[in-house]
Chains A and B, each alone.
Chain A
Amino acid sequence: VKALLWTGVNETSVADVPDPGIQDPEDVIVKVTRTVTCGSDLHLVGGYIPFMQSGDILGHEFLGEVVETGANVNRHRVGDRVVVSSFISCGRCWFCRNELYSACDNGNTNPAITETLWGQAPGGCFGYSHAMGGYQGSHAQYIRVPFADVGAFAVPDDVSDERALFASDSASTGWMGADLGGVKPGDVVAVWGAGAVGQLAARAAMLLGADRVVVIDRYGYRLEATERHVGCETLDYERDDVQAELLERSAGRGPDVCIEAVGMEAHSSGPAYLYDQLKQQLRLQTDRPTAVREAIYACRKGGSVFVLGVFAGVVDKFPLGAVMNKGLTLRSAQMHGQRYIPMLLDRMSKGELVTEYLATHVMPLTEGPQGYEIFKNKEDGNLRTVFLPNG
């Protein structure tokens, strides 16, 4: 089968790889019809998460058709159209039973790596390095899906492939930020980052009853897409005074919930960015936490900050004093897709959650390297690049 491989720092290529096969009784093999780039892939491509081997298949957000089932698969049959959670979770451990699916005890096949780095190992993830289990990614014509009864979900007939694709990860992640961030009716919510996850976190906040939602970014086309498709307010941090605007828009309180959807390669317009960039390049810190700092500073007393962006290691100048003295709740997680995908598909069916506009660039998998370049460089109004591995 053809697949898009990581072959080195900032290098990808398309090549033929061995066909995946059923290994365990709850596996299915999925013929991938759509698979999409994610901002967190860029951390892998750029070598910021140094646990990739040359030849590993990228991709974790996908949809396809079941073409083979293992002996113990009960919920799926050959021919089913399914969207698959990016995290691989067993469904039986204490964490899965408590809907903390990305913390699954059994999904990660190399737990010693992340246990050593972080104290405990999260679950496994498709195409997200050997630190997350070394599973093959979805940028391929076919993929093995372990624990398919837990992580694969039939797509309702009235939800298009183009829309359902984003339930796999970005819509689930965004919803989790608003849900576990504790968004309630009447809240003011600020979201840092107008990529797909940030936009869908904003949409989730609106659907959960937030009174006012403000998304912050620096790319005009992403802010325009947010205003047009999500229907919330925006701020351009290169033009607007974000802290002053958020105070004014929340009548001096600060946002009740602040959602960070940027991650370890954050930018900013001030000297802090130069400081963070220098320290990161010198390997004195692994991640640039600019947006997290801003979210903590902006958040109202007793409010909630949810970190959705992917971070790998340690950061500098973390405003712990603000967290403590303002009585903030700081939460985070990799995405618990299995917890949200059925509800999201239902909302997609009702038209409450529209996502297909995010696929600004759709191309064959053979153009994968070019698709990532456009995505990485935010060229041509790119929000997400979707690949069609099987034409």
Chain B
Amino acid sequence: MRRRLATLAGAAAVAGAGAAPAVRRAMRARRPPAEDMDRWHAVTVLCPPKEAEARRDTPLAALGDAVEVSVRQAPGERGSEVRARLAPAVAAGDDAGERLEELRTALRETRQVLEIGWVVNADRPTTNRPTPLNAPLRAAIAHGKGRGRP
């Protein structure tokens, strides 16, 4: 993970045309480092832990036994800390990278369901069009919720 972040920090340093290849390389699907598979990924949600635990219609709940989930009170009246990690059998699978992206996406969307009530999306239909130049950006957008740092 640190290596990928360092790569993208480099991407920031060369924003403009020079950023595109770096972003493309960094966002390319690949198996994350082993420590990411074991790590608890988390979001802080502004709702009581009881409410976070009780909801059964969240994207995180939909992942079922594929993930382990932990909810606890956040400090400083920040609500709940919702943590999740891949179940060991899933983390050992060949598609663990994709499953980890699903987990991260589910964490973000669960926060939206708990705080707002629905999953937020950009405008549809879009008005843009694919070009060779924006292919790296489109690839990054495809992973816009599954990558990053949750």
Contacts and interface: CB of A to CB of B under 8 A. Distances in A.
Interface in A20-78: 20, 23-25, 47-57
A112 B120 contact: no
Contacts, number: 156
Nearest to B134: A53
Contacts of B140: 110, 112-113, 130
A23 B121 contact: yes
Contacts of B73: none
A17 interface: yes
A50 B143 contact: no
Given A3-B127, A18-B127, A116-B5, A121 B137 contact: no
Contact of B15 (A52, A56, A313): A313
A314 B19 contact: no
A283 interface: yes
Contacts of A107: 120
A371 interface: no
Contacts of A314: 12-13
* Chain A interface, DSSP helix/strand/loop, else mixed: loop
A34 to B, nearest CB: 21
A92 B15 contact: no
Interface stretch (A131-139, A234-242, A327-335, A348-356): A131-139
B149 interface: yes
B144 A111 contact: yes
A109 B128 contact: no
Contacts of B78: 94
Nearest to B10: A314
Contact of B18 (A20, A97, A134, A283): A283
Contacts of A25: 117-118
Interface in B110-150: 111-112, 115-118, 120-131, 133-134, 137-138, 140-141, 143-150
Interface of B: 4-5, 8-9, 11-20, 23, 26-27, 43-44, 46, 78-79, 108, 111-112, 115-118, 120-131, 133-134, 137-138, 140-141, 143-150
